[in-house]
């Protein structure tokens, strides 16, 4: 209920079909999204939906559109009619001033398309204004000094000459018929419009109209039975039987009959107990909590069903993927290709070789201890490429090199990236001329490991990957890093080994300002340098 300080207007309406039947549906009154009433400390929002009742009527009490201190002001309600059987409902706007506290939609809703969309509600007639001064009084006030007759005469000029008679005009066409009058007032509320689907002036209902049987069907053939004074169906209305419709005796007994086991040829409780073993004479009462015809399964006795558990001894085949919560161990060395191997067995086969993981790396191009002592400049501009092998899946976070010296100062156009075995780029660093991605300077004797982080970690599958990089620096002052390389004495050392198409080292003489989306592995040039690179 709205606070009393907010003036309201009650809007009513009734909707009928042309034959007088009530319509169903709703009428929606929609104001601006939110209306604030500071004096009442209330904010109103949302539409008001009035559902048509069984008589096709609606009633809604709404805030007046001219309520004082209302924000916003100067708005109107949008009325939308949604009535069953009328495909396109009307929509129009109305003003509901507080002067008219009760309004009927039939008085204000537009039915003529030529009427304006905004329909104001006319308030009561105001008081009559004062009578204005006459024209003569106005003339005197303006300086006229004659009598009223003189004033009237001054308004009439001399008669002119009589003009000639004009030609007979054409008769005009008849005017259009006037508009139909407004609909008559709605009928009185509360009247019954129809009874059980009938709407004639004089309605007569039959038993079938209300789902009932005719009174003549009581006690008649194909009808219904009645009850006597004792509340029972009379014998005359019961089906005919050999006993005349009533039981004469039971097992030779009449009156209030009570039968015993012997009367029906049965054993009494004691005689029956004597013929059967009693529960107290049976040692086992239940099996695993079950009685009756017991059939146990492995779970009933805390066991695993056959084929669902791993045997401690004997031969067994275990199928499907298995996940161990702890590392399985074995003291037996593998003897076939499909046998699992112990770590100690694998370590023993590795001998004294150093592996990338021994240095905190995922993979490398070769053992860096085998590189030549004098590092090489990669050159400012060309793209250098080194292939690496990832034996197991791993997450890569950075690209690694080894520099014997580096004074910093890479310029824009310096980058590094990782490409898969097809030459497609899978990860890259950012601009290596920026502080985030440029490798640290190296001024220590013997050099140091340097790296550049990827823009995002890359989850790599096992396989061959190509590390490519391009460094832009001042070649005059040799500001670029001196990178570790393997023996590179020949002008074009061999980079193909065995019978695969993998080129382990190479160069693209023509550079690129940023890491290309792919590289053409078939176009990779041998070059004269084999630079060391690794992934971490």
CATH code: domain of residue 115: 2.60.40.3390
Are 448 and 417 in contact by the 8 Å Cβ rule? The answer is: no
Q: Is residue 161 part of a domain?
A: no
Is 393 within a domain?
Answer: yes
Helices (H), 340-413: 343-350
Percentage of the chain lying above the pLDDT 70 cut: 79
Q: Is residue 381 part of a domain?
A: yes
Q: Answer yes or no: pTM beyond 0.85.
A: no
pLDDT of residue 341: 81
Q: Mean pLDDT score of the chain, rounded to an integer? A: 83
Q: Which of 120, 154, 174 is the last residue of a domain?
A: 120
Q: pLDDT higher for 15 or 372?
A: 15
Q: Provide the 3-class DSSP secondary structure of residue 189.
A: coil
Q: Would you say residue 80 has pLDDT above 70?
A: yes
Q: What's the pLDDT tens digit per position in 130-155? A: 655 665 676 677 676 766 666 555 65
pLDDT attached to residue 188: 44
Torsion of Cα atoms, 348 then 353 then 359 then 365, to 10° = -130
Answer with the residue of higher pLDDT: 270 or 414: 414
Q: Is the pLDDT of residue 59 over 90?
A: yes
105, 120, 135 — which closes off a domain? 120
Report d(CA 417, CA 47) in Å as an integer: 60
Q: Kindly report, residue by residue over 247-266, the tens digit of the pLDDT.
A: 778 888 888 889 898 888 88
- Look at residue 326 and tell me if it is in a domain: no
The domain of 465 spans 356-535
Q: Is there a domain that residue 97 lies in?
A: yes
Where does a domain end: 96, 120, 144?
120
pLDDT value at residue 11: 95
DSSP letter at 395 equals E
In a domain, 141, yes or no: no
pLDDT tens track for 81-98 = 999 888 888 889 999 999
Q: Total domain count for the chain?
A: 2
Burial (0-12, 13-18, 19+ Cβ within 10 Å), 452: buried
The token duo for 347 is 């370590």
Mean pLDDT, range 506-517, rounded to an integer? 95
What is the pLDDT at residue 168?
47
pLDDT of residue 187: 46
Structure confidence at residue 153 (pLDDT): 57
Both tokens assigned to 398:
């950075």
What is the per-residue pLDDT for 230?
A: 85
Q: Whole-angstrom Cα distance, residue 55 to residue 23? A: 8
At 466, list the tokens: 């190509």
- Sorted by sequence, the CB contacts under 8 Å of residue 413 that are 6+ apart come out as 433, 470, 472, 511, 513, 514
* Alpha carbon distance 527, 536 (integer Å): 26
In angstroms, what CA-CA distances link 403 with 359, 451, 473, 506? 16, 10, 15, 19
Tell me 498's DSSP state: T
Contacts of 206 (CB under 8 A, 6+ apart): none
In a domain, 202, yes or no: no
Q: Which of 434, 436, 448, 437 is nearest to 482 (CA)?
A: 448
Select the more confidently predicted residue: 303 or 215.
303
> Strand pairing partners for 376?
483
For residue 154, tell me if it sits in a domain.
Answer: no
- Distance between CA atoms of residues 502 and 508, nearest Å: 16
- The 10 Å Cβ neighbour count of residue 300 is 13
């Amino acid at each position: 209920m709205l606070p009393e300080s907010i003036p309201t207007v009650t809007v009513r309406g009734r909707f009928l079909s042309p034959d007088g039947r009530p319509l169903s549906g709703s009428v929606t009154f929609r104001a601006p999204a939110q209306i604030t009433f500071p004096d009442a400390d209330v904010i109103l929002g949302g539409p008001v939906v009035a559902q048509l009742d069984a008589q096709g009527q609606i009633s809604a009490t709404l805030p007046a559109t001219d309520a004082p201190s209302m924000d916003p002001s100067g708005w109107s309600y949008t009325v939308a009619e949604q009535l069953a059987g009328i495909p396109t409902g009307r929509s129009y706007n109305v003003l509901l001033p507080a002067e008219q506290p009760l309004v009927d939609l039939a008085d204000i809703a537009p039915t003529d398309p030529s009427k304006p969309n905004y329909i104001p509600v006319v308030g009561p007639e105001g008081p009559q204004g004062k009578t204005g001064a006459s024209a003569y009084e106005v003339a005197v006030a303006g300086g006229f000094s004659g009598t009223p007759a003189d004033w009237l005469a001054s308004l009439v000029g001399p008669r002119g000459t009589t003009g000639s008679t004009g030609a007979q005009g054409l008769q005009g066409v008849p005017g259009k018929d006037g508009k139909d009058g407004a609909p008559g007032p709605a009928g009185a509320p509360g009247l019954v419009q129809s009874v059980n689907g009938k709407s004639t002036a004089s309605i007569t209902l039959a038993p079938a109209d209300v789902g009932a049987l005719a009174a003549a069907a009581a006690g008649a053939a194909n009808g219904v039975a009645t009850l006597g004074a004792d509340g029972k169906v009379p014998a005359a209305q019961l089906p005919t039987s050999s006993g005349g419709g009533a039981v004469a005796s039971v097992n030779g007994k009449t009156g209030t009959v009570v039968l015993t086991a012997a009367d029906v040829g049965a054993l009494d409780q004691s005689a029956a107990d004597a013929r059967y073993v009693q529960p107290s004479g049976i040692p086992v009462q239940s099996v695993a909590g079950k009685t009756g015809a017991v059939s146990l399964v492995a779970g009933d006795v805390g066991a695993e069903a056959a084929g669902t558990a791993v045997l401690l001894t004997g031969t067994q085949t275990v199928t499907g993927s298995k996940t161990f919560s702890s590392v399985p161990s074995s003291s037996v060395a593998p003897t076939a290709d499909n046998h699992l191997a112990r770590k100690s067995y694998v370590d023993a086969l590795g001998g004294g070789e150093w592996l990338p993981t021994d240095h905190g790396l995922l993979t490398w191009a070769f053992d860096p201890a085998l590189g030549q002592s004098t590092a090489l400049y990669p050159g400012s501009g060309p793209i250098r490429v080194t292939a690496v092998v990832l034996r197991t899946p791993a997450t890569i976070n950075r690209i690694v090199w080894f520099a014997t010296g580096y004074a910093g100062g890479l310029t824009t156009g310096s980058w590094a990236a990782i490409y898969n075995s097809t030459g497609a780029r899978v990860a890259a660093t950012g601009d290596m001329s920026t502080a985030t991605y440029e490798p640290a300077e190296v001024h220590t004797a013997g050099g140091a490991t340097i790296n550049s982080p990827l823009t995002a970690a890359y989850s790599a599958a096992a396989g061959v990957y190509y590390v490519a990089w391009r460094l832009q620096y001042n070649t005059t002052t040799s500001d670029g890093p001196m990178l570790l390389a393997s023996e590179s004495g020949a002008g074009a050392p061999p980079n193909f080994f065995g019978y695969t198409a993998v080129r382990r080292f190479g160069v693209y003489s023509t550079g690129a300002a940023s890491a290309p989306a792919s590289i053409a592995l078939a176009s990779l040039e041998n070059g004269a340098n084999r630079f060391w690179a690794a992934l971490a």
